[in-house]
Structures are given as C-alpha cells and as structure tokens.
Amino acid sequence: MQIIRDLPALRKAVAGLKKECGKLAFVPTMGALHAGHMALIAEAGRKADHVVASIFVNPTQFALNEDFSTYPRREAEDMHMLEKGGCALLWAPDVETMYPPGHSTTINVTGVSDGLDGAARPGHFTGVATIVYTLLNQVQPDIALFGEKDFQQLAVIRRMVRDMDLPVEIDGVPTQRDADGIALSSRNIYLSKEQRIAARALPRALGEAAKAIQEGGDIREHTERATDTLRRAGFDPIDYVAVCDAETLESLTSLTRPARILAAARIGQTRLIDNLPVIPSV
C-alpha cells in the first residue's frame, strides 16, 4: 500500500493507478478504523479494481465544544488494517495541505443539512461537504463509499454531488453492528461498561418504532415512545428522534414514501447517532 502525504505525490500515484486501467473506488475516513470502515473497504474492493482510502481528522466539522483534540488517532493500526483489507493507496494529508493559508471557500448544502444533526451541530455539514468535495477533487475516484450510519451525511453528499455535477457514483453501505445491536462507531470507545449496556436502548427503541410505524402505527406516537425509552435508559439530552423522507430528510407525519427513523442522543459525555429504514407497505 502506498502512503501519500503531499498533493504532487497523490496526483502522480492516482494517475499511475488510472493508467493501469479499471475503476478506482474511494473510502474517506477520519481514521480510528473499525469493522464498519473495513466493510466499506471490502465493498470498494468488490466494486472497483483499485481502492484508495483517506485518513484526515477534519477540524472544520467539529464545533469548538466537540472532541476534535481527543478524537481517537491510531494511524499505525489503521494502516495495518487498510493494507490487510487490500487498499492500494492511503491519502493521509495534514491540515495545511487540506486548508492552505488563506483558505476561504466552503460548500454549503442547504435543505437536507438544515435539520437533525445540522440543527444540533451548526456548521458541521459545511465542514463535511467542504472536505468531501476537496477529497473527491483530489482523488478523482469513479466511486466513493460512505456508511449509512451517518445517514444525513450520506444524503448531504449525494445532494452535493448531484448539484455540482461531480463525475462520481456515491454508494451507501449498510451500518455494521456489534452483537448487542449497537452501531459501530469510533466514538464507542468513550463508553463505560454501564453506558455501553444502557446504549443498547438506542437500536432497540428505533427498531421497535420502525416496526410499529411500518405496520401502520402513528409516527408521532412511536417517536415519542422511542424518546421515552431512551430517556429511561439514561440518554440525556436527546437531540432528536424523527422519521424523515429517505432522500430529502424532510420530516414526515405519515408514512407516504420510503423513510428513515433517525436519532441522536448523549449518554454521559458521548453523543451517539443511529438510524433505520422505515418502508411503507405497498
């Protein structure tokens, strides 16, 4: 696996891979890799001839009160995992490379980024869209893969790629879960043993609500019930539990089209997010 940290070397390496022919798939990450990321790498390998990954902990998607400085960084282990997973190239730039002096251009995707995490974390999706746009421009992949765990992020990126007519296919990969149902996340390491047990309430509450709504239950009643389950498990605050259109993320009050139930809530100091599909019966 080639490990590249500067732009001229990246351009040369990408040109080299493209000359070898075949498709190039890209998996952008912030490192601290787990089986969820490796599922993206594996899927990328099935979809393309060469897999490129990036590791960059993007400062602009963290608010001042968030965990940028403590976000887990494990580059040596990450490299080992990527190499084992069949990744051909790792793009690992530093902050000055991604945000050169005087950097003043941002990508702001309105609508789909306004609610949910966009409301709870002002500026977050501008940071995400700006860095993903830049990474896509640098790596020039045929396909880029993102986890459905960050469902709103995926919707924002799809919107941006469509609006800016970027020549890349965006693929969403289903959330990977531990045996207890909790979605894999680099932030799960922050949970104590007790918090980890309590956190099982999140996938359970969403699963129960999704099932009930699919069977004709009232959206408001079942999102309130899920919120209550989370509160009783010790989540506080609960930023949202909402059922939204699966593409635009507009909030729904009845299940008239494919939807997603999404939630974000804090247990202790750790903010967890999760989501599940809610499909109307035909």
Q: Which stretches of the chain bind ligand PAF, using CB under 6 A?
A: 28-30, 58, 61, 128, 131-132, 150, 153
**Residue 157 beta carbon to ligand PAF: minimum distance, rounded to whole angstroms:** 7
- Give the Cα-Cα-Cα angle 61, 263, 28 (nearest 5 degrees): 35
**Residue 58 beta carbon to ligand PAF: minimum distance, rounded to whole angstroms:** 4
Nearer Cβ to ligand PAF (153/195)? 153
Radius of gyration of the CA atoms of the chain, in A: 19
**Amino acid (1-letter code) at residue 51:** V
Count of C-beta atoms within a 10 Å radius of residue 6? 11
**Residue 30 beta carbon to ligand PAF: minimum distance, rounded to whole angstroms:** 4
Rama region for 32: left / alpha / beta (φ>0; ψ in -120 to 50; rest): left
Specify the 3-state DSSP secondary structure of 180.
coil
Please identify which of the residues 37, 50, 124, 222 carries the catalytic annotation. 37
**Residue 238 beta carbon to ligand PAF: minimum distance, rounded to whole angstroms:** 22
Q: Is 103 a catalytic residue?
A: no
**Residue 257 beta carbon to ligand PAF: minimum distance, rounded to whole angstroms:** 26
Nearer Cβ to ligand PAF (153/229)? 153
Cβ 27 vs Cβ 37: under 8 Å: yes
State both tokens at 187: 């932030």
Give, in order, the Cα–Cα distances in Å from 180 to each of 200, 205, 232, 253.
7, 13, 18, 30
Strand order of the β-sheet with 89-91 is 2-4, 89-91, 50-55, 24-29, 143-147, 169-173
Residues with a catalytic annotation lie at: 37
